[in-house]
Amino acid sequence: MNIKQIKENKIRMILQFSIPSIIAMLLQMVITITDGYFTGNYVGQNALAAINLGLPVLYFYLGTGLCIGVGGSVISGRMIGANERKKSSEVFSQTVVAALIICVAISVIVFLLFTPILKILRADGDLSVYFTEYYRIMLFTYPLMVIGTILGMFIRVDGKPQICMLVSIAGCILNGVLDFFFVDIMRFGIQGSAVASLIVQLLTVLVQMFYFISRKTGIGFRKFSFDREINKEMILNGSSEFIGEMASAISMFMFNYVLMKYVGAEGVAAFTILGFVVYGYSMICIGFGQGISPLVSRCWGAKEKEMAFALRKTTNKMLFMIGLIIAIAFFVAGKQYAGLFGCNNKVADMVATGFKIYAVTFLTMGYNVVNSMYFTSCGDAGSSAIISTLRGIVFPFGIYAGFSCNFRNDGCMAYCSML
């Protein structure tokens, strides 16, 4: 991939890099649903609750990994655009090692604080047992997951997004097979689900490492010395991604709190059904954002700033059209969609109303995500962080105060949609 190819085939290059990323993101959603299916059906609802209690831990790992990975890959991409491949490989090596050290440190700290964490979460009885059984294995899995995510980012920067897609497809299939084997056949319970995840993440990392070691690539492992300036820029560039993941944890808590307070369990059920569509579309938006990130960083490194802006503009148009189609479809058929989940008429009506209020989200979500990743790819960490902070932390509290108290049920949906 070079600047000339990007200029001559702008839309084709966007799709070539974005579609594999979108598929990879959607497959992550499939893995989550698969884990939930086997855990809920073969272990029990308490096991699912125990996993959900620990989701803030996962968000913290993801935030840390994205912060370091996105920051490092953007710097590396800009250096490739400036024909500094040796320095690009040094940044790659530094990024992977830094992420590994930080994630291992997080795992050690969480392991030592297990008892206080359980007390804070008020997990006792079966919840405490399930939480401990699951997350003591996942403390080994999450660092591998972060390293795998970062390696995938650099494979995209190296111009091979299709490899990431193939690895994701293989991982998704293997995860389902191992869940079935360990949880259903072997009856290992919640530990079986955790072991399945550990094996999948380990194999994913090994395959991706093999890519960098076994062939001549534009980026590879090189001897390096930790550069403070690179570390600083890496963290600043990726700070918006960290803020975004932390905001996800905060927003999820607030969604459930608002809905339970003003609507009840049926409101939570309605938002969960609606949320499947929103989550799926957000994966498409993030996939496009990750897809154009290496293209933008290369253009920026080559001083082709107008081309980078054109990539953002074209991607925003694509996502607006996709969002418009989704909004119209569920605006018209929201209640029929809710019926697929066997819910009662009251919940189905909530879902239908929610889609009508939520329609605007499908038109603006892509713009927010793509612009945040665009600024990160250009090295403008400040603008990217401002977008993530306003969208994920400032606006949720302000909108919650204004909408949920005054408009109750519809206000809850409006509150959620405006985030």
pLDDT, tens only, 104-131: 999 999 899 888 888 876 667 787 888 8
Distance (Å, whole) CA 39 – CA 33: 10
Average pLDDT over residues 35-41: 75
Greatest mean pLDDT range, 122-126, 196-200, 269-273: 196-200
pLDDT of residue 393: 58
Which of 34-43, 63-72, 382-391 has the weakest average pLDDT?
382-391
Which of 24-28, 95-99, 411-415 has the weakest average pLDDT?
411-415
Mean pLDDT of the chain: 78
Give the confidence band of 407 by pLDDT, cuts at 50, 70, 90. Answer: very low
Between 85 and 416, name the one with better pLDDT. 85
Q: How much of the chain, in percent, has pLDDT values that exceed 90?
A: 13
Give the confidence band of 86 by pLDDT, cuts at 50, 70, 90. Answer: confident
Which of 72-86, 99-113, 261-275, 367-381 has the weakest average pLDDT?
261-275
Residue 19 reports pLDDT greater than 70: yes
Residue 414 reports pLDDT greater than 70: no
Give the confidence band of 381 by pLDDT, cuts at 50, 70, 90. Answer: low
Average pLDDT over residues 130-149: 91
pLDDT of residue 373: 76
Average pLDDT over residues 395-409: 53
Query: pLDDT by residue (tens digit) across 335-345?
Result: 787 776 666 77
Average pLDDT over residues 1-16: 75
Residue 417 reports pLDDT greater than 70: no
pLDDT of residue 178: 94
